[in-house]
Amino acid sequence: AQSVTQLGSHVSVSEGALVLLRCNYSSSVPPYLFWYVQYPNQGLQLLLKYTTGATLVKGINGFEAEFKKSETSFHLTKPSAHMSDAAEYFCALSNFGNEKLTFGTGTRLTIIP
Amino acid sequence: NAGVTQTPKFQVLKTGQSMTLQCAQDMNHEYMSWYRQDPGMGLRLIHYSVGAGITDQGEVPNGYNVSRSTTEDFPLRLLSAAPSQTSVYFCASRTLGGKLFFGEGSRLTVL
């Protein structure tokens, strides 16, 4: 079975500060990992994904994530938070040949002016 | 530039009533899926389809039916609504192995 754990259901950072959202996973086979963002009253949008190759993945809106197999982690970072980053963020996992996507429980990011 | 379209956006049902949530996509995607989103639980997969005529169960399929007669449409049917099915429902589609595109969601309340 595979699972995704997001540490911290709520994270607050000041505008201009570093954003760090944590995601750990469990998978018996090499994972595909994703970060999605959900703005209020909207569906989810893909921020970035890791399948194979380079472990540092760059996404939209200045976000990036690093796949660390030894730590089973895929944390999302952004060097400088912007007010428009306030949203809920979901980490998700799938595998090659498995079309099902398993989501974490989400982290709500609040930006303090 | 429609993408994934869900209807209705809001619905209130009484316990025991049935209804269908509609989902249509215009991107010719093989894969379509339904998720429900509940506070503190993230998104959970209800049913999915990898092509017309093919459907399979996800993590929480009980109380829901799906069919896939065309590539474009993937309706979700609630057979006999229960308060536990109060949730926000999302339809998503993609090409196999590709990026998921989500609809805007359907908020369902069962009284």
Angstroms from B106 CA to nearest CA on chain A = 10
Contacting residues of B for A101, CB less than 8 Å apart: 33, 45, 100
Option in A44, A100, A105 nearest B45 (CB): A100
Answer yes or no: are the C-beta atoms of B33 and B101 closer than 8 Å: no
> With an 8 Å Cβ cutoff, is A104 touching chain B?
yes
Own/partner contacts of A58-61, CB < 8 Å, gap of 24 or more, are A59/A35, A61/A37, A61/A85
Upper half-sphere CA count for residue B24 (Cβ side, 13 Å): 7
Each residue's pLDDT tens digit, B69-101: 999 999 999 999 999 999 999 999 987 667 889
Query: Which stretches of chain A score pLDDT less than 70?
Result: 97-99
Each residue's pLDDT tens digit, A5-35: 999 999 999 999 999 999 999 998 889 999 9
Each residue's pLDDT tens digit, B48-71: 999 999 999 999 999 999 999 999
